[in-house]
A and B are shown apart, each in its own frame.
Chain A
Amino acid sequence: MTEHRAGGTGPPDEYIEAEIHRLLAEDPDVAEQGITVVRRERALVLYGEVESPHRREEILRRVAERFPDVPVTSDIGVIRTQAPTEIEQLP
């Protein structure tokens, strides 16, 4: 992966967005392909859903570790695992 250009104070650029997206998939501690990275004026926002609270924390920890200068906020949920309340009938 290309090195992050540290120390910048401007808005996060497209390359950082791409690097975070790849980090989430390729970092063995994360391995998530379903997280969306959205660039906002003041921060990058991570959206998506994961299978446990631990994974959500790990994503934020790894992103903060690798991109300490990039403001990142998270709106990642943990997917519910309740039994279904409906069935679908298919003739």
Chain B
Amino acid sequence: MVIRIAAVGDVHLDEDVVGRFRPALEELPGQADVLLLAGDLTRHGTESEARCVATEFGGLGVPVVTVLGNHDHQCDQVPQVVKVLEDAGITVLEGDGVVVDCAGGRLGIAGVKGFGGGFAGRCASDFGEPEMKAFVRTTTDSADALGATLRGLDCDVLVALTHYSPVPDTLAGEPLEIYPFLGSYQLGQAIDSAPTALALHGHAHAGTERGTTPGGVRVRNVAHPVIKQAYSIFHLGDHLDHPQVSGIGASGIQQPWS
């Protein structure tokens, strides 16, 4: 059996975007078991922008699970944003997880926004000024919450959902100088602390789609400017011999293994 995951991040909704994603989203019920959103749902994190997200991504016929991104924090209205999303049936994760019953098994999703700091050997340290320590501790706390949640979920397939990147691989294309603002290795370490099958993130608009953690977990950057489509679809199933990409024909997804 296969678990089908649709995912996109960084949709940055406001009134001017409402309706652009909807035609593609209407196709989801036949093609995916769940839609995961990798943060930056809004431009400035206002309650009114969250209502745009609820309009666009609510009532889709598949469960929708999200983390917030840095843009969703801009106007300090996180509680209002979360309430609007949850009222629309969207599950918002931050340091916690959810298990979705799919036809192919129980999908566990652990989510945090995450934070920056950089990658092994070239990262910020918990040392010096209070501002620097607060920066690094924000990252560490977020990664700790992600790791604990991943290790605690009782499910068949485990997915990590973040906004910031857990690996540098999927940042390729971004200027090296800004890597520390795009992700942190601690998130990757948390992902590797559990039998995670897939890690999804956004945030790096100029990055690339594919990478792996040092522990071998597949990482996908699903930021909308990277995938250049309404969402990507991943099929997770341990019976498949090797990774492959198949086309979706006019009559729906072709399943080459069937």
Contacts and interface: CB of A to CB of B under 8 A. Distances in A.
Nearest to A36: B206
Interface string A13-50: 00000000000000010010110100000000000110
By CB atoms of chain A within 10 A, which of B12, B44, B242 has the most? B12
A90 interface: yes
Given A88-B234, A91-B240, A83 B228 contact: no
A51 B15 CA distance: 11
B229 A80 contact: yes
Contact of A89 (B225, B229, B245): B245
Nearest to B21: A81
Nearest to A53: B16
Q: Looking at chain B, what size class is its interface with the partner chain? A: 35 or more
Interface stretch (B60-68, B147-155, B186-194, B246-254): B246-254
Contacts of A31: 12, 43-44, 71, 74
B205 A33 contact: yes
A82 B229 CA distance: 5
B225 to A, nearest CB: 5
A interface: dominant SS: loop
A82 B247 contact: no
Contacts of A80: 228-229
A83 B230 contact: yes
B20 interface: yes
Contacts of A87: 4, 233-235, 245-246, 248, 253
B215 interface: no
A82 B27 CA distance: 11
B124 to A, nearest CB: 19
A49 B226 CA distance: 10
Contacts of A28: 44
A7 interface: no
A74 B136 CA distance: 37
Contact of A52 (B17, B44, B224, B232): B17
Given A49-B225, A87-B233, A91-B238, A82 B24 contact: yes
A85 B247 contact: yes
Given A55-B16, A82-B230, A84-B231, A91 B243 contact: yes
B160 interface: no
Contacts of B84: none
Given A28-B44, A83-B229, A89-B243, A54 B24 contact: no
A86 interface: yes
Interface of B: 4, 11-13, 16-17, 20-21, 23-24, 27, 31, 43-44, 71, 74, 197-198, 205-206, 218, 220, 224-225, 228-248, 253, 257
* 8 nearest CB pairs, A to B: A34-B205, A83-B24, A91-B240, A87-B233, A52-B16, A54-B16, A89-B235, A49-B225
Given A87-B234, A88-B220, 19 more contacts: A33-B205, A34-B225, A48-B205, A48-B206, A51-B11, A54-B16, A55-B16, A81-B21, A82-B24, A82-B229, A83-B230, A83-B231, A83-B248, A84-B231, A86-B245, A87-B246, A88-B232, A88-B234, A91-B243
